[in-house]
Amino acid sequence: MIKNDCIDRDFNGKTVLVTGATGLIGNVLTKKLLEQGAAVYAVGRRMSKLSEVFKDYADNDQLFLCESDVSDELPCKEVYFDYIFHAAGPISGRLIKEKPADMVKVNVSGVENCLKRLLYQKERLQKNEPQKKASGGRLIVFSSATVYGDSEGELIGVSEEDGCSLCNPASVAAVYPETKRMVEVLAGAYARQYGLDVCIARIAYVYGYSPVMPDTAFYEFVRRILNNEDIKINATVMNRRDNIYVEDAVSGILTVALRGESKEAYNVSLSGENGNCASASEIAECMAECAREAGHYNKKVLFGEQGCSSLDGIMLKNDKLKALGWNPETGLKAGIKKTLEYYFAYGTEKTI
């Protein structure tokens, strides 16, 4: 259960579309919206995966599973959505390297299709009910902490109005942050030109239990712990970053949806609070410690001969979101403990 004083039952009776519903954030978001009484259309690329992730909700008549690739088209054109949460988008480092063009298509085309759906809804309302000055629903675009770039070892706190430290667009790693910046530009352009209601959630690095593990370092650490294997860190330097437990991230996103101002961006982050500013190597050590304390692990984190230094990095200031009434609750160690407890209980993910 996600607890947050700011989140009430304002989604009760609303119709909501969630893209990327089987992902780390999307599945928690979908379940929370169902708890609040919303009718939720959960979108994923494979019905088999949707059915497995939401198997405990098979009898819930408020949940509608939709197999669709949102980079091609959004489903259910006949349905009016009060809110669209665009959570779809790959985060795999392997995909960035091996299929960068696919990543560009998913990120850019996906959000444009969401914007076009809002525009379609607005035009339809104006045609059928011209007395209403409707926006066509509200879209919450999921952006990323990566839009702020890297700090090169310096502790930097960034607010939503700060400029970005641009990376070399020719580099392999540029695909993800550059498409997220483009997504924000595209959303703002549609909002201003067509009068659409759009909010941006710039989300810090999210961790937590996911039925399907993302292809990231955090979940590679989880797999090794579940297999009782040593965690190996080959890097000699890692930047600290602003991490956030998935339930805090979802409550922040819902706060943006309910209380955020249109055309505004909000950092959904811990701003380093409660130990959440940590590098991947520090997270690995914390994870191993939590697993050992729980009696599920007797291995350790192994470093190369030179060890691994953790340098300061970017922290996202969260004052703007907190001003809406949001209060995050979970420290890094507590969040990692919760995550591992779920995996110890349910084991590794199935192939779905």
**Tokens describing residue 39:** 């009718």
**Tokens describing residue 179:** 């498409």
CATH code of 27's domain: 3.40.50.720
Q: Is residue 2 part of a domain?
A: no
- Give the tens place of pLDDT for each residue, 187-244: 999 999 999 999 999 999 999 999 888 888 999 999 999 999 999 999 998 989 899 9
Range of the domain at 91: 15-206+242-276+316-329
Chain CA centroid to CA 63, Å: 20
pLDDT of residue 223: 94
- Least confident stretch, 171-180, 194-203, 283-292, 302-311: 171-180
Kindly tell me if the per-residue pLDDT of 351 is higher than 60: no
Kindly tell me if the per-residue pLDDT of 5 is higher than 60: no
- The full length of the chain comes to 352
pTM of the complete model = 0.92
Q: Is residue 88 part of a domain?
A: yes
- Give the tens place of pLDDT for each residue, 318-341: 999 999 999 998 999 999 999 999
Question: Could you give the angle at the alpha carbon of 108 between the alpha carbons of 164 and 84, nearest 5°?
Answer: 100
Q: What Cα–Cα distance (Å) separates residue 300 from each residue in 222, 229, 278, 309?
A: 13, 8, 18, 17
Specify the residue for token string 């091996």: 98
Average pLDDT of the residues in 126-140: 80
Q: Is residue 226 part of a domain?
A: no
pLDDT of residue 43: 97
Q: Is residue 325 part of a domain?
A: yes
Residues 6+ apart with CB under 8 A from 134: 121, 122, 125, 126
Q: 3-state DSSP call for residue 268?
A: strand
Q: Measured on CA atoms in the order 245, 246, 251, 253, is the torsion positive or negative?
A: positive
Residue type, 290: C
Q: Is residue 252 part of a domain?
A: yes
pLDDT, greater one: 126 or 324: 324
Q: Which of 159, 181, 183, 173 is nearest to 86 (CA)?
A: 183
Q: Is residue 215 part of a domain?
A: no
Average pLDDT of the residues in 62-87: 95
Specify the residue for token string 């297999």: 227
Q: Is residue 6 part of a domain?
A: no
Residues 6+ apart with CB under 8 A from 143: 180, 183, 184, 200, 201, 202, 203, 265
Residue 23 near residue 208, CB atoms below 8 Å: no
Q: How many domains does the chain have?
A: 1
Q: Is residue 93 part of a domain?
A: yes
pLDDT of residue 3: 42
Kindly tell me if the per-residue pLDDT of 4 is higher than 60: no
Residue 276 near residue 237, CB atoms below 8 Å: no
pLDDT band for position 297 (cuts 50, 70, 90): very high
Q: 3-state DSSP call for residue 310?
A: strand
pLDDT of residue 132: 64
